[in-house]
Amino acid sequence: MTTKMAINAKEIFRNQHRLIRFIEQSIRLCSNQSLKTVQKHAKQQAEPDFQITTSISSEYTTAPEPIKHDKDVGQQFAAVQLAVRLAAPHQLQPKPDNDDALAFGKVFTDHMLKIYYHRSLGGWQRPEITPLENLVMHPAAKVLHYAVELFEGMKAYRGVDGKIRIFRPNMNMNRMNLAAKRSGLPTFEGEEYIKCLSRLISIDSEWVPHSEAASLYIRPTLIGIDPTLGVASSDSALLYTILSPVGSYFKADNDGAVSLLADPQYTRAWPGGVGNRKMGSNYAPTINVQKEAAQKGLQQVLWLYGEDHQLTEVGTMNIFMFYAQENGDKVLVTPPLNGLILPGITRDSILALTKQWGKFEVREEVITMPQVSQLLNEGRLLELFGTGTACVVSPINRINYMGTNLYIPTMEQEKPIHETIRETLTGIQYGKIEHPWAVTID
């Protein structure tokens, strides 16, 4: 083989995934044409009650405050410094055959993003994309002893037009930086991180499922890796990101609604704690309670707080209740951000959208179990649902509360609002509705 042929062969090998992607997109665009016709027809049959707007007024949601870095954080990283080391053929991960059937977080893509922080070297170091590989750290690393860890959960969606989008990433960056501050970890420039993340997604873009029932889950993680045992802020940290294609949240063997265990002896968060931050240490103590729920044949835990048994969250979701007031007017409520609740991005988006629709009252206020029981007895409780990035909206059909089953009529409504909300949000995420919340990856 001549040198020129060898170079050409190398080029073809390096770019073959682009060719495959091009062919896949062309096939999808053809099938989308027929899909669009079906969707148009379906839309004509069920005209929604709500006006689906293609923008959001700043009256209904506020952009997060820019993060103020502590002076001693040192230098920030920038996306222009990004170094890329592509996976060799033997490092490529096996790709699943059926994205829709993927279990959550079991399969990972070929590459990851890593950004080290070393105070002794002046602050954040150069970002790098590397093949997916194990991390090496000292056994005294703070993350291993004091759970100095926090994370985010985002998704990349392949739209009906073949473009890849992420949803309100600046909100995740803001939430992550707030958790970093609370953990004594260094804060960073969210916009620069999003540029690095976009590059990672575009390198692994063939892993973004070609399906509206699946997506690419993004797990940004920040850990303290200082190799010292003192309970103190970490002078070294690692901000890394892994990607995992995930299938449909709902399994085909149920109607999509979940049943909950509500046991007031367990609490997820408390005033002055960190229930409002996405730290790993919040999640470990929930696992055994979740196991108990499963043993009782229930799917999730409804986390209660206080003597009045306030509803705070459902598993790893925020909670919403839709009910009729005594005068018949309907109202959508979700608990306020009082420190016990994770400020969900889906939660914020639902509040903003429904306030803009203006079809019913929307309130942030405490919901208690006695209130739920009373509304049920009076036939005024219409829908109860959890919300989050993983499932968008998860309807609830039963609560096991202090040994009694409360049956919630969420799935019995003729035109449930949780369905309209789900359709709107997924419409934005999958590019069916043009919206500033959906950010396209180039």
User: Footprint of ligand PLP on this chain (CB under 6 A)?
Assistant: 153, 313, 316-318, 342, 344-347, 388-389
Query: What is the distance between the terminal CA atoms of the chain, rounded to a whole angstrom?
Result: 36
Contact 100, 248 (CB under 8 A): yes
Which CB, 142 or 277, lies closer to ligand PLP? 277
In the structure encoding, which two tokens stand for residue 177, read together? 């930086």
Shortest approach of ligand PLP to residue 226 CB, angstroms?
A: 26
Contact 345, 377 (CB under 8 A): no
Q: Where are the alpha helices (DSSP H) in 296-440?
A: 345-357, 369-377, 417-429
| Contacts for 391 with CB less than 8 Å, ≥ 6 apart | 249, 250, 317
Which CB, 209 or 335, lies closer to ligand PLP? 335
* Count of beta carbons in the 10 Å neighbourhood of residue 138: 12
Contact 148, 169 (CB under 8 A): no
Shortest approach of ligand PLP to residue 4 CB, angstroms?
A: 51
C-alpha to C-alpha distance for 293 and 299, rounded to whole angstroms? 6
Which CB, 215 or 346, lies closer to ligand PLP? 346
Shortest approach of ligand PLP to residue 197 CB, angstroms?
A: 16
Shortest approach of ligand PLP to residue 153 CB, angstroms?
A: 5
Question: For residue 314, which of 305, 301, 325, 326 has the smallest C-alpha distance?
Answer: 301
Question: For residue 334, which of 324, 326, 323 has the smallest C-alpha distance?
Answer: 323
Which CB, 201 or 317, lies closer to ligand PLP? 317
Question: For residue 342, which of 389, 394, 288 has the smallest C-alpha distance?
Answer: 389
Number of H helices, E strands in the chain: 8, 19
Which CB, 234 or 346, lies closer to ligand PLP? 346
C-alpha to C-alpha distance for 233 and 137, rounded to whole angstroms? 17
Which CB, 129 or 362, lies closer to ligand PLP? 362
Which CB, 313 or 383, lies closer to ligand PLP? 313
User: Which helix (H) or strand (E) element contains residue 412?
Assistant: none
Question: For residue 196, which of 344, 312, 76 has the smallest C-alpha distance?
Answer: 76
Which CB, 141 or 178, lies closer to ligand PLP? 178
Shortest approach of ligand PLP to residue 310 CB, angstroms?
A: 15
Shortest approach of ligand PLP to residue 312 CB, angstroms?
A: 9
Shortest approach of ligand PLP to residue 254 CB, angstroms?
A: 21
Shortest approach of ligand PLP to residue 19 CB, angstroms?
A: 35
Contact 174, 37 (CB under 8 A): no
Shortest approach of ligand PLP to residue 389 CB, angstroms?
A: 3
CA torsion angle for 178, 182, 183, 186 (degrees, to 10)?
50
Shortest approach of ligand PLP to residue 132 CB, angstroms?
A: 23
In the structure encoding, which two tokens stand for residue 360, read together? 């019913």
Which CB, 303 or 357, lies closer to ligand PLP? 303
Phi-psi region of 339 (alpha: psi -120 to 50; beta: other; left: phi over 0): left
Which CB, 392 or 406, lies closer to ligand PLP? 392
Shortest approach of ligand PLP to residue 273 CB, angstroms?
A: 13
Which CB, 158 or 175, lies closer to ligand PLP? 175
Q: Where are the alpha helices (DSSP H) in 147-256?
A: 169-182, 190-203
C-alpha to C-alpha distance for 252 and 237, rounded to whole angstroms? 41
3-state secondary structure of 301: strand
